[in-house]
Amino acid sequence: MEKNNQLILALDVTEKNKALDVAEKVYEYVDAVKIGYPLVLKTGIGIIEDISSRVPVIADFKVADIPNTNRLICEQVFNSGADAVIVHGFTGRDSLDACVATANEYNRQVFVVADMSHPGATEFFQQVSEKIAKMSLDTGVSGVVAPATRTNSVENIRKIIGNELAIISPGVGAQGGSASDVINKGADWVITGRSIYQSDSPDTEAKKVVQEIKNRN
């Protein structure tokens, strides 16, 4: 994934036409589109190929199973055209290694969830986020996920991983995170969804986020 605009769209819609329409309108402003279970379960896994023909796709399936099942999931994801997959790290090194090995076979990327953007993440994730970040360093992953809603978490994780891994940061927009703030704290990309895809003018909203990042102090 090339770092151009530092924006990833979280396309959390369930209708195929809506997804394709928004992707078409914003592809110039985003470096990737992140899709998850709601869209795939409603429309089928072929939606990955449909969108990836226009813009790189990150499959946000938060893969969290035993190694063999993780491998099977990742194979389906990459066979469908995804450029990257998001996986959980709390299931352990062997499960993560299975995802990375599969990604390497397809020359694709893996991002590991080190922390999440919702309030409930503080109940458990904060206790293990630094440990997951440390584990990720020598696994061959491309980066970690850390929340724009708690920039201290991004800052701490950046100190752990240095410049070895990228940080993609969800929670910008509807969840209250600031694109410029979290980039300044060490994120490489911000992830935003509702403020763009629920807008009457998704391209305008995407452009605003890009400009905020480029004009930050």
3-state secondary structure 11-35: CCCCCHHHHHHHHHHHCCCCCEEEE
The conformation of residue 66, written as its DSSP 8-state character, comes to -
Instruction: Give the per-residue pLDDT at 121.
Output: 64
Any residues with CB less than 8 A from the CB of 169 and at least 6 apart, and which?
A: 145, 146, 147, 148, 154, 177, 182, 187, 189, 190, 191
Q: Is 120 helix (H, G, I), strand (E, B) or coil?
A: coil
Q: List Cβ neighbours of 201 (8 Å cut-off, separation of 6 or more).
A: none
Confirm if 144 and 132 have CB atoms less than 8 A apart: yes
CB atoms within 10 A of CB 216: 12
Asked if residue 15 has pLDDT above 70, the reply is yes
44 is in an annotated binding site: no
Q: What is the pLDDT of residue 122?
A: 73
Q: What is the mean pLDDT of the chain?
A: 94
pLDDT digits (tens, 9 = 90+) for 88-107: 999 999 999 999 999 999 99
Phi and psi, residue 135, nearest 5°: -60, -35
Tokens of 106: 């397809």
Distance in angstroms (rounded) separating the CA atoms of residues 24 and 62: 25
**Residue 84, annotated as binding a ligand:** no
pLDDT at 216 over 70: yes
Higher pLDDT, 71 or 152: 71
What one-character-per-residue DSSP string does 39-61 give? HHHHH-THHHHHHHTTS-EEEEE
* CA distance linking residue 213 with residue 185, whole number of Å: 12
Q: Which residues are catalytic?
A: 60, 62, 65
Q: Is 38 annotated as a binding residue?
A: no
What is the CATH T-level fold of the domain 7-215, as seen in this structure? TIM Barrel (3.20.20)
Q: Is 140 annotated as a binding residue?
A: no
- CA–CA distance, 24 with 181 (Å, rounded to integer): 28
Q: What is the DSSP letter of 137?
A: T
- 53 assigned ligand-binding residue: no
Q: Report the candidate in 211, 189, 171, 184 with the shortest Cα–Cα distance to residue 84.
A: 189
Under the banding of pLDDT at 50, 70 and 90, the label for residue 127 is confident
Is 12 labelled as part of a ligand binding site?
yes
| pLDDT for residue 125 is more than 90 | no
Report field, pTM of the whole predicted structure over 0.85: yes
Q: Rounded to an integer, what distance in angstroms lies between the CA atom of residue 165 and that of residue 145?
A: 10
